[in-house]
Amino acid sequence: MAIWQMNDEERSAAGVPLPYWAFAWAGGQALARYLLDHPETVAGRKLLDVGAGSGLEAIAGAMAGATVIAADTDPFAVAATEMNA
């Protein structure tokens, strides 16, 4: 069964973590917008995105000129970040 068709009980029984990676959270959107509007903040620097989720902030940082490492413990989040990058 596809993740998006599962209810919470089915998801939990299948060992599938909550899909936090599937949302562009407001704080992440604001940070990504800030990095894109102010690239001098991170350009030429190293940026570590811990709990990267979909990779939104990491991608914005890379677009702003940073060298980026995006990390997450959820394999679905890692896959989402890789696909979004």
pLDDT tens, 4-43? Answer: 788 888 888 888 777 888 889 999 999 999 999 999 999 9
Task: Identify the burial level of 78 via C-beta atoms within 10 angstroms of its C-beta, where 0-12 means exposed, 13-18 middle and 19 or more buried.
Answer: middle
Please report how many Cα atoms fall inside a 13 Å half-sphere around the Cα of residue 28, on the Cβ side. Answer: 18
> Can you give the pTM of this predicted structure?
0.82
Please tell me the distance from the alpha carbon of residue 43 to that of residue 35, in angstroms, as a whole number. 9
The pLDDT value recorded for residue 32 is: 98
Tell me what pLDDT residue 27 has.
96
Residue-wise pLDDT tens digits, 38-65: 999 999 999 999 999 999 999 999 999 9
Domains recognised in the chain with CATH numbers: 25-84 (3.40.50.150)
